[in-house]
Structure 1
């Protein structure tokens, strides 16, 4: 949660996750409840605790805890819980609670898993305290989480990129480039060095010449501009005949991502493919459209280079 000042007053805002993509997110959390004697363990196992079946009551409470996390923890986003498992293991005088939560969403479920584990532990504590005054909760911790960009490992390949801005108006000095420079900045976030940056007019032959030259020098070639439907938008038309393998899924993902944010993303004719071992991408000419495309496909798209080297998925 970020704190900003408005008219001298502090206002807390939730973290903005609108730029993120839905991915499978998994979290596993654990909590440990320790009792003081074996009689308490036996009472639980034999379902003789006066307040009822401890395991089932606590499991139901834990499920509610997972689902209601955003209601009690202010900065947690409401999200769909698509799977939740609560299991128990008894080791001596300790009851070990394991909570596993899955979702397909823009943010992780580690807090939901830990909240579920804590509610389960508190319910066990509450149900056992009439027969065991020394029961205590020892620990609540996250064991594992996966999903999202933070779990994608950086590739060992050293990437070099070229960014080419296709625009008549920018090449003639009538307007200034923003999308190309924004792409260069975003690539830096992924450890990718842009060794070539240039602006050229919307010229079919020139775009093809630059594609052939740069594809032999860099691993990643990105064009921005000329992907629309105006008479001078020819970037995809020039690049397509040069591609050795077209990868439709990359731009399908980008257009779907963009369409969720503005209604005209479906009109982009951007394409993706390879020339040799170089990935070629054609992005929209608007700064917003270019950045949204990067957000939609990176860093997952970089896995392509491992695949091209023959490494297993």
Structure 2
């Protein structure tokens, strides 16, 4: 089963279709709700909804999801019935299979209830297909349309003194590279306020996105937030709120992060935790929003990017 634990939850919807071909007199029985076994359309609707809710039990590698809405509707034609399903959730993965399963099971239920009224070859369940899906990476992009410059600054006394390797900053660097940021400046500093302040102010003249890694905790040497928060001209508190909420579901220590985000001149500045887990979780939560800022908010002139 695919690991979706690091994917942010989002609103997701999927629509699917199946077609059941049947003789005209069977279509009329559906319209009247008068098959030998009762009202087939109503029964098929309940069967489809139940199938959507239990897809993970029917298809081995599907993830269980909370189903917030499942609908089954019909369009009756002369010699076929079109089965249309809609499924919605808020989750880390989509509901395409739930919508397809609902359409299939609803169609099979109609098939079962019509088979006493015609020959087997007269019933054909066909064209089970996905019509639409929305949400997740297909809707909330995680890659830029055009390259945007970025800088990653690692704040750590121990890393700066070569006592341990940097893993958190490298994970952020890898994520930005995959998202299409270029060029990317990477630098390691000790936890020194003046050095950080001077570097960020200098980089803000030529880099569109500046991400610091480390120094967001409550230790006496955690100076990143105290240094950069006064420099922010326009805060984006929602970014760090989203990162902390995402991390809190994975570790209770996320609540200790004091990270902030906002603009210094025309550069977006974000302060991420110094642990590899905290940094990677923050990027998983924030990347769609970051990409949206640079792809859509075109009233912001982005140095190193585009107008």
Compared CA separation, residues 54 and 282, structure 1 to 2 (3 A): same
Deviation by residue 1:201-243 (Cα, 9 ceiling, x = unmatched)? 1111111111111111111101001111111110111111111
Post-superposition offset of 1:199: 0.7
Post-superposition offset of 1:114: 0.3
Deviation by residue 1:2-49 (Cα, 9 ceiling, x = unmatched)? xxxxxxxxxxxx21111112111100010000113x222222212221
* Residue in 2 that maps onto 1:289: 278
SS in 2 for 1:129: helix
Deviation by residue 1:220-268 (Cα, 9 ceiling, x = unmatched)? 1010011111111101111111111111110011011111111111111
SS in 1 for 2:46: helix
Matched, 1:57 2:20: no
Matched, 1:220 2:206: no
Instruction: Give the gaps of 5 or more residues in structure 2.
Output: 301-307
Compared CA separation, residues 130 and 91, structure 1 to 2 (3 A): same
* Residue in 1 that maps onto 2:8: 21
- 1:277–1:308 CA contact under 8 A, matched in 2: no
Match of 1:159 among 136, 148, 155: 148
Matched, 1:251 2:240: yes
- 2:144–2:181 CA contact under 8 A, matched in 1: no
The 2-side partners of 1:207 and 1:94 are apart by 69
Post-superposition offset of 1:301: 2.5
Provide TM-score, normalisation by structure 1.
Answer: 0.91
* Residue in 2 that maps onto 1:3: none
* Residue in 2 that maps onto 1:138: 126
Q: Which range is displaced more, 274-283 or 80-89?
A: 274-283
- 2:146–2:180 CA contact under 8 A, matched in 1: no
Matched, 1:117 2:103: yes
Post-superposition offset of 1:151: 2.0
Deviation by residue 1:63-97 (Cα, 9 ceiling, x = unmatched)? 11111111111111111110011100123211000
Post-superposition offset of 1:170: 1.5
Extract structure 1 runs of 4+ deviating beyond 6 A. none
Q: Which range is displaced more, 153-162 or 254-263?
A: 153-162
- Matches of residues 54-203 of structure 1 in structure 2 within 5 Å? 54-133=40-119, 134-153=122-141, 154-203=143-192
SS in 2 for 1:88: strand
Post-superposition offset of 1:310: 3.5
* Residue in 1 that maps onto 2:305: none
The 2-side partners of 1:42 and 1:176 are apart by 73
The 1-side partners of 2:30 and 2:50 are apart by 21
Post-superposition offset of 1:194: 4.5
Instruction: Give the gaps of 5 or more residues in structure 1.
Output: 1-13
SS in 2 for 1:264: helix
Match of 2:197 among 208, 217, 222: 208
Post-superposition offset of 1:158: 2.2
Post-superposition offset of 1:306: 4.3
- 1:184–1:194 CA contact under 8 A, matched in 2: no
SS in 1 for 2:255: helix
**How many residues matched?**
297
SS in 2 for 1:139: strand
Provide TM-score, normalisation by structure 2.
Answer: 0.93
SS in 2 for 1:196: strand
- 1:54–1:124 CA contact under 8 A, matched in 2: yes
- 2:27–2:77 CA contact under 8 A, matched in 1: no
The 2-side partners of 1:169 and 1:62 are apart by 58
By percentage of residues, which structure has more strand? Answer: 1
* Residue in 2 that maps onto 1:30: 17
- 1:190–1:299 CA contact under 8 A, matched in 2: no
By percentage of residues, which structure has more helix? Answer: 2
CA RMSD of aligned residues (A): 1.4
